[in-house]
Amino acid sequence: MPLIPDPASAEPTALFLRACLGLPTERTPIWLMRQAGRYMPAYRALRERHDMLTLIRTPELAAEVTLQPIEAFGLDAAIIFSDILPPLVGMGLELDFIGGVGPHIANPIRSGRDVDLLGTPPAAETMAGTLGAIAIVARELGPRDVPVIGFAGAPFTLASYAIEGGSTRDFERTKSFMLAEPAAWQRLMTKLVTVQVDYLKAQVQAGASALQVFDSWAGRALGQSDYRRYVQPYNTLLFAALRDVGVPVINFSLGVSSFMEDAVACGGDVIGVDWHLPLATMWARIGHDTPVQGNLDPVALLGPWRELRPRIDEVLDGAAGRPGHIFNVGHGVLQRTPEDTVRRLVSYVAERTARVATSP
Ligand code: CP3
């Protein structure tokens, strides 16, 4: 045995990172998808003075937004403030966020030739603002032992915005392109994997202690057979490329509960669970040796405490105190969420899960 432990192999002390590794924690860690954003007056005040892309691209501003919910609620991890779509800009797509509408791409992909014109420049060049913001937040939160989470979109979810030019209800253009141009689909998905892998690795270099991959729309858009054929190979490539990245990787695939096993098979150290089925059901299907994150319905945060509390209890009872559970919402926090409800959620989860310290 070496006298001095290798710091790289030492167990982390941060509750969130311990849970990501399936290690016991003194209470259940909690953070919330979309924890920084429009439900916070402090965010809205900054947004009045700066547009979305300026907030994302200015390291000091993105760091400030990232820290807002940490200061306000004492969450156990900080997800870097950005969006899944800015990496598309470096590839050649003209992205904007339009108030009341959402993301808009002025030159969406409509042909195989459009795919071939997409670049794959390194994230160090195209995402320097976010990488700089991660460095600032990591420096700020390191002494408090609060980890920073980096993130990226999965290839199908990004392809849907690149092809539709914005949000969509039925994914008509995306699926038509996928079916009509399978070779171009393969080239598009491969380019997206290349860009996202490089970006996620760069976020770790910049100071991220964990990564989350958001596949928000593959499960909503596709049935199982198409998922297996047009999505699974690329998500599998993405997670395989991150296997040695040295930090836990969370696989959050929304809307896949009817074929969860296929999404889990793609990879990831932690599985993010959406709110459609009880956590107990999902964790049993995933297997209790794999850490999970979830899965409160974010709409429950809009209602009264008497309706919210049993739903929080259902998640915690579903986890049954096993190590490897990270409390989260089952999709992003909504704009109308009251800050006081978030505060109450965080303290309730802490109180209910505090485990009596036992001497070894
Ligand atoms: O979680 C966090 O706090 C980090 C920040 C974050 C944002 N978007 C900020 C944001 C993260 C992780 C995302 C991910 C994201 N973005 C996803 C995947 C997760 C999910 O919700 O399924 C998707 C699909 C997007 C794309 C996107 N960005 C849409 C559809 C919209 C418009 C709808 C909306 O909610 O406004 C955005 C804009 C966006 N991303 C805002 C924020 C705070 C609102 C922008 C504003 O201030 O006007």
User: What average pLDDT does range 196-204 have in this prediction?
Assistant: 98
Distance 42 CA to ligand 1 centre (A): 17
Q: How far is the CA of 83 from the centre of ligand 1 (A)?
A: 6
Ligand 1 pocket check for 167: Cβ under 6 Å: yes
Instruction: Give the residue-averaged pLDDT of 88-94.
Output: 98
What values do phi and psi take at 79, rounded to 5?
Answer: -90, 135
Residue minimizing CA distance to atom 32 of ligand 1: 102
pLDDT at site 2? 47
Nearest CA among 280, 340, 282 for reference residue 314: 280
Check pocket membership of 152 for ligand 1, CB cut-off 6 A: no
Q: Domain 15-358: give its CATH architecture.
A: Alpha-Beta Barrel (3.20)
Q: Which residues are catalytic?
A: 34, 38, 47, 83, 161
Q: Residue range 96-109: average pLDDT?
A: 95
Ligand 1 centroid to Cα of residue 321, in Å, is: 31
Q: How far is CA 146 from CA 15, 160, 207, 332, in A?
A: 9, 33, 12, 20
52 lines ligand 1 (CB under 6 A): yes
**Rounded distance from Cα 84 to ligand 1 centre (Å):** 7
pTM score: 0.96
pLDDT tens digits for range 322-349: 999 999 999 999 999 999 999 999 999 9
With a 6 A CB cut-off, is 275 part of the ligand 1 pocket?
no
Q: Is the CB of 97 under 6 A from ligand 1?
A: yes
Q: What pLDDT sits at residue 8? A: 58
Residues 6 or more apart whose Cβ sits within 8 Å of residue 4 = none
Q: pLDDT tens across 286-336, in order? A: 999 999 999 999 999 999 999 999 999 999 999 999 999 999 999 999 999
pLDDT at residue 267, rounded to an integer? 98
Mean pLDDT value of segment 132-152: 98
Task: Please tell me if the CB atom of residue 36 comes closer than 6 angstroms to any atom of ligand 1.
Answer: yes
Instruction: Give Cβ neighbours of residue 89 (< 8 Å, ≥ 6 apart).
Output: 95, 126
State the DSSP code for 93: -
Q: What is the pLDDT of residues 49-85, one digit of tens each?
A: 999 999 999 999 999 999 999 999 999 999 999 999 9
The residues, ordered by sequence, that sit 6+ positions from 258 with a Cβ below 8 Å of its Cβ are 224
Long-range contacts of 237-244 (CB under 8 A, 24+ apart): 237/190, 237/193, 238/154, 238/155, 238/193, 238/196, 238/197, 238/213, 238/266, 238/267, 239/213, 239/266, 239/267, 239/268, 240/267, 241/193, 241/197, 242/197, 242/200, 242/201, 242/211, 242/267, 243/267
Confidence class of residue 358 from pLDDT cuts 50, 70 and 90?
low
Report the atom number in ligand 1 closest to the C-alpha of 151: 12
Contact predicate 137/63, CB 8 Å: yes
When pLDDT is cut at 50, 70 and 90, the band that residue 355 belongs to is confident
Rounded distance, CA 330 to CA 53, Å?
26
Provide the Cα torsion 108, 131, 35, 155; round to 10°: 40
- Condensed to tens digits (0 to 9), the pLDDT of residues 211-266 reads 999 999 999 999 999 999 999 999 999 999 999 999 999 999 999 999 999 999 99
